[in-house]
Structure 1
Amino acid sequence: MANVDETPTSRLELVMGKDAVRRLANSCVVVLGLGGVGSNCAEALARGGVGSLVLVDRDVVEPSNINRQAVAYTSTVGQRKTDVMARIVADINPSASITPIHVFLTRDNIGQILGGLDPRPDFVVDAIDNVTAKLVVARWCQDEGMPLVSSMGGANKLHPELLRFADISQTHGCPLARIIRKECRKRGIRGLRVLYSPEEPVRPQAPDGASGKAATLGTMSYFPPIMGQMIAGDVILSLTGLDGRITTSGGNAR
């Protein structure tokens, strides 16, 4: 029998306290990319009590997404990921403020799209799988003084226990992080916090005739979701001050 005194945040309050839960309810987080990492991160942020979520992605759900993405079901194939994620968040927290944005971020539009948000975001999650876009986001967040955590590669990896947070300059063993690290040095991007794994990727067993991502980027069902959950935890702990790190914004009053 359900306890009538419990609320969706009761168990959160036992761990964090009411003030931290209230702070999360007054916070705005942007999730860029709603694939295996980003969709699971957005779900965890919603369940964690974040009151305002901006969901950015340009893709629709494909059958190959079903093994790992929180937005992917046979019933959602062909639908915009932003629309599906918005429905999931609303079902978890009907009072949440949800802003779905179906777009691909570029250097030309990032200022208009993210800079025009009201309230101003307290945190940005980069779960994009495009190198150029990741660098655009890192540069913009640095220039704006906006806290950012970026996901590195999870494809062709098996062991989530090796995942760790680090400054991009301290990463090793991750092919995507190697490219981002080099480009950050060239572009003067400093202090980029990332989640990465030093695990050497396994060699894909591509079927005959396969090409592109279908031949090179395999994913375990659990790996990207664990990355998304870890990033959500990092954001929640940072916004509430429970990790000891200080963000540049203390949560927007709503």
Structure 2
Amino acid sequence: MYRIRGFYNRQLCALTSTVGQYKAEGAAARGRDIDPDTVVYPICATYDAAHREEFFSRKFDYIVDCIDLVSCKLDLIQQARLRGIPILSALGTGNKLEPELLRVTDISKTSGCPLARVMRKELRARGIHHLKVVFSPELPHETQQLEAPSPGRRSVPASVAWVPSVAGLMMGGTVVRDIIEDGGLVP
């Protein structure tokens, strides 16, 4: 559960007028501002196994996974599979500078991404061999760590505005195309 603090460089709903709001509420409000007929059910909580039923209390047409924590990401993927919900996962965009290298592919075809390597191993251990992902083969750049992570947590790689943004646009486009190809909504 994250509140908007000042990630103006990364998130469209992060404005001076939304500081202190939950990201989910800010994103939902943005969607409704664009199209008042949009139906959005924001959940102001962090996805994890203990709270999964709250997240799956509604029916989803598609899940877009942008979770940073591997254990939570894995659980969400497993639950989507069990429930027959298509899922697209974002892999590591941190410490990368070249958005033109991003691509949508199966996780089995990824390379150069440390998160992809961990995810492939963990997914195979769970019997999952295929997963649609957005990833970049660009090797992460070394950065200087300015702050120590919280106890028990690893540091999250830094990101620049343009790489995660392009990944998000690619994910949105992929979801729309997949829904159309599956005979869903026609624009």
TM-score (normalised: structure 2): 0.90
Measure how far apart 1:72 and its partner are: 1.3
Output the aligned Cα RMSD: 1.9
1:210-254 C-alpha deviation (Å, 9 max, x unpaired): 22299762211111111000000000011111xxxx48xx46xxx
1:192–1:215: structure 2 CA closer, same or farther, 3 Å change rule? closer
Aligned match of 1:12:
none
8 Å CA contact 2:43–2:55 kept in 1: the answer is no
8 Å CA contact 2:120–2:129 kept in 1: the answer is no
Aligned match of 2:79:
140
Runs (4+) of structure 1 exceeding 3 A deviation are: 213-216
Measure how far apart 1:75 and its partner are: 2.6
1:116-171 C-alpha deviation (Å, 9 max, x unpaired): 20xx2111100111111110011011111111100001001011111111211221
Aligned match of 2:149:
212
Gaps of 5+ in 2: none
Q: Which has the higher strand share?
A: 1
**Structure-1 separation of matches of 2:54 and 2:36:** 24
1:201–1:225: structure 2 CA closer, same or farther, 3 Å change rule? same
**Structure-1 separation of matches of 2:103 and 2:24:** 28
Measure how far apart 1:176 and its partner are: 0.8
**Structure-2 separation of matches of 1:190 and 1:147:** 15
TM-score (normalised: structure 1): 0.67
**Structure-2 separation of matches of 1:115 and 1:95:** 22
Provide the secondary structure at the position in 1 that maps to 2:60.
Answer: coil
Aligned match of 2:164:
224
8 Å CA contact 1:138–1:189 kept in 2: the answer is no
Q: What residue identity is the alignment partner of 2:54?
A: I
Aligned match of 1:42:
none
**Structure-2 separation of matches of 1:189 and 1:114:** 22
**Rg larger for:** 1
8 Å CA contact 1:206–1:216 kept in 2: the answer is no
Measure how far apart 1:108 and its partner are: 3.2
Q: What residue identity is the alignment partner of 2:177?
A: L
**Structure-2 separation of matches of 1:116 and 1:211:** 37
Provide the secondary structure at the position in 2 that maps to 1:98.
Answer: coil
**Structure-1 separation of matches of 2:155 and 2:108:** 30
Provide the secondary structure at the position in 2 that maps to 1:97.
Answer: coil
Percent identity, aligned pairs only, is 37
**Structure-1 separation of matches of 2:70 and 2:88:** 15
**Structure-2 separation of matches of 1:158 and 1:150:** 20
Measure how far apart 1:114 and its partner are: 3.7
1:78–1:178: structure 2 CA closer, same or farther, 3 Å change rule? same
Q: How many residues align?
A: 182
Q: Show the 5 A alignment for 1:112-151.
A: 112-117=53-58, 120-151=59-90
Q: What residue identity is the alignment partner of 1:95?
A: D
8 Å CA contact 2:89–2:132 kept in 1: the answer is yes
1:183–1:216: structure 2 CA closer, same or farther, 3 Å change rule? closer
**Structure-2 separation of matches of 1:130 and 1:172:** 20
Measure how far apart 1:98 and its partner are: 1.5
Aligned match of 1:198:
137
